[in-house]
Amino acid sequence: MRRTCLFIALIAASLIPTIAFSQTPQTEVSRSVEGGGVKVAGWTGQVDAKEAEAGMTLNSAKFAKEGEAFHVVTGPAVTYWNPANKASGDYTVKARFTEPKYMSLNDHPHPYGIMIAGSDLGTDKQSYLYCAAYGNGNFIVRGFGPAPFQVNGRRASTDPAVNKASAKGEPVTQEIALSVKGDKVECAINNKVVGSYDKAAVVGEGKLKSTDGVYGIRFGHNTEVMVSGLTSTKP
């Protein structure tokens, strides 16, 4: 009897990894947006390299103007910019981001936010930094130089300043700003600095070429957001 129980236990143990693996959720796939493309004069963008490898293009997402706001629907993860929008020295770039129906196009929260320090954009040598918020109270600061590099860690961070949607399908709004101040780069969300980083930690080999450059807006995949008040100001 003891041998029989041991044999059954060994079989059960060998099945655990298989069962656990079979219950792992599938990665959400980027979906192409109907009527996509960049529809605002002077603006352009680029989808992430992995999205391009999967056949996604700028026409797989939608960037349009509605009144004074930009209406963005993704598709692939993408960054948009107008080459005329540049900032240098000490400055702050900010905008208001409203997700009208939280998680309406995805099965988990996706980020959106401000991009600064763009250099060689649209090429395989591009570099830029972004701070983005999620509608669940998280935020993330990362860069491309041209490969992705982490700033506030491998995963998103939580801060009470980041607004949370009351439920799926409900609206949530974030005021997001990225600032260069002396030897610091700061991300503020809803008027609170949630991350402050040494400029030396984000500029250099494999990271930013400089904190000067083009600014714009950044979005995760399968997300709908309204963006208003995109501006760059000096101290």
Give residue 155's pLDDT.
87
Superfamily grouping for domain 31-233 = Exo-inulinase; domain 1 (2.60.120.560)
What residue ranges do the domains of the chain occupy? Answer: 31-233
CA angle 147, 232, 170 (to 5 degrees): 75
Please give the distance of CA 166 from its chain centroid, rounded to a whole number: 21
Percent of the chain with pLDDT over 90: 85
Whether pLDDT at 150 is above 70: yes
Give the model's pLDDT for residue 153: 85
Q: What is the pTM of this model?
A: 0.87
